[in-house]
Structure 1
Amino acid sequence: MKPVLLAGETFHTTSLSAKGLEVRASSRYSNGALRFVGGLSSHGIEVVQIGGERCEAEFPKTLVELDKYSAVIISDVGALSLLYTPETRLGKRSVNRLELLREWTALGGGLMMAGGYTSYQGIDGSAMFHGTAIEEALPVALHAGPDGLEAPEGLDPVIEKREHPVFSDLPSSIPYVLGMNRVKPLPDGVSTTLAHCENRGQKLPLLSVREYHAGRSLAWTTDIAPHWLSDDFMRWEGYDKLMVNMVKWVAKEI
């Protein structure tokens, strides 16, 4: 199996500490994908991660570059970080990498989007994937406005298609989550909702899959890390297996 490309899941936090008139600034860099990358690596899957701050300069700009990977995972990085390129900042034409991803998927690639504050439309609408080429390849439809749902009471996943390979060999039911992106299911026959969460009388797709021309796409609408993944989820013995199964399915390895 070729390596998997993960785009996103990194962030900088800047804070101010005030003690009277003395104010100090500090910052730290975090990578939210360490558990995810470790889980895949333990099952022999190599992950190449391009943090959100590096996507503009380093994310692939050709089909040949994308073909180095068995799957591309977009997680907690917005559309602008992929659309901006060094060339466009200089006022020159460049490639639309969301259209490139759609084409690559249609030609046989594997595309996965994981949820987060800057996935799908995002907690405040700033992710802005609605109306882009990549939405055409996803197994869900996006709302035009903010889609982040905080659920401190917890949301319990309900599996609809237990027989699907994504759920093979899971040791138990999926633990609760603390938030997700609200998306809309596509019509039956276009995509399949494998699991959902219920909120205020609505069934919200949690895990959806689709055959897109010669390729495959998968939407996991909660996080791959805290805080939307609860502590129970992160400690769950099935975490690695579920993440590995999702990646292997989209890469046509199962």
Structure 2
Amino acid sequence: MSARGSQLNVLVAGESWIKHTIHMKGFDQFHTTEYEEGAGAFLECLAAAGHAVTYVRGHEISSRFPRSPEELDAFDVIVISDIGSNSFLLPDETFLRSEKSPNRLGLVADYVGRGGGLVMIGGYLSFTGIDGKARYGMTPLADVLPVAMLPHDDRIEMSDGLKVDVVEPGHPILGGTPAAWPPLLGYNRVLPKPGSVVVARTGDDPMLVTGEYGEGRAVAFASDLAPHWAPPEFVEWVHYPALWGSILSWAAQART
């Protein structure tokens, strides 16, 4: 047990990207490159609650994401957000040098089976993702997550906003937060597995789903923790910190 009271040891992977832009001005053009992170508000609310957070950015996964059961067991819950499966499955030693390397998603699956917590949060490179590139349905996490994933691009864009219906308002994963959520702007379409619990949905599609795997717990949150699917109304919502804190605490409960 690594948590202290209500404090958790949290591993967050993803939510960063690099933009390479071509600027065209008549005959001439030039390039710029920018690095951005999207998890700022999420990480800040975890730190403010006293949780110990290890943040592994997308480009750091090959070098910093745990590669052994012992390293993973230091954490109470793992959060994967908007980073495709290839970043875990193609470490430098394998992709560049054809050397064997631990299957990091297989290690995560085993970790949950031993009592760890897993939360996957939606985005363009979560679940199946844009153009089918996230590909988690073809990884060991397909058995762990409480949802089945589509075999094709699963994004649902709702530029006019979507309403979330909390259908299990008394579920402990919500921590007593209000059932009226601010609108969101999109999500990954997933399908709840038998035995899972759909806590919130939009229309007929699940938004927040809980499940168990082995001795551990897994959560699927089909929308985002940051723009663009999570607009300022959601990220700045007064209950945003409590909602995420409760989601992570529920996922980690088997271990804590």
Q: TM-score range by the shorter chain?
A: over 0.9
1:142-190 Cα deviation digits (max 9, x unpaired): 0111101111121111111111112223256111110000001111xx2
Question: Which residue does the alignment assign to 2:15?
Answer: 9
Task: Give 1:87's aligned residue.
Answer: 93
Please point out which of 51, 70, 91 is paired with 2:57: 51
1:152 aligned partner: 159
Structure 2 residue 134 is the aligned partner of structure 1 residue 133: no
Equivalent pairs counted in the alignment come to 248
Alpha-carbon distance in 2 for matches of 1:172, 1:157: 9
The equivalent residue for 1:98 is 105
**AA partner of residue 37 (structure 1):** L
Contact 1:157 / 1:176 at 8 angstroms: preserved in 2?
A: yes
Once residues 42 and 172 of structure 2 are traced to their aligned partners in structure 1, the CA distance between those partners, rounded to angstroms, is 19
Q: CA RMSD in A?
A: 1.3
Q: Which amino acid aligns with 1:192?
A: V
Counterpart position of 1:195 = 200
Q: Could you tell me which runs of 5 or more consecutive residues in structure 1 were left unpaired when the two chains were aligned.
A: none
Deviation, 1:87, is 2.2
CA distance in 1, matches of 2:20, 2:78: 29
2:245 is aligned to 244
Aligned to 2:31, the other structure's residue is in SS state strand
Give the letter aligned to residue 48 of structure 1. T
Contact 1:153 1:178 in 2 (8 A): yes
Deviation at 1:231, TM superposition (A): 2.1
Asked if the contact 1:105/1:214 (under 8 Å) is kept, the reply is yes
Q: In percent, how many aligned pairs have the same letter? A: 35
Is the Cα contact below 8 Å between 2:19 and 2:33 reproduced in 1? yes
Query: How far apart are residue 33 of structure 1 and its match?
Result: 0.4
CA contact (8 A) 1:110 1:250 kept: yes
SS of corresponding position for 2:241: helix
Q: Contact 2:169 / 2:179 at 8 angstroms: preserved in 1? A: no
Consecutive unaligned residues of structure 2, counting only runs of 5 or more, are none
Amino acid at match of 1:167: L
Match of 1:107 in 2: 114
TM-score, structure 1 length as denominator? 0.94
1:31 aligns with 2:37: yes
1:168 maps to 2:169: no
Deviations 1:25-84 (A, max 9, x none): 111111100000001111111211111111122211110010111111110000000011
Determine the structure 2 residue equivalent to 1:207.
208
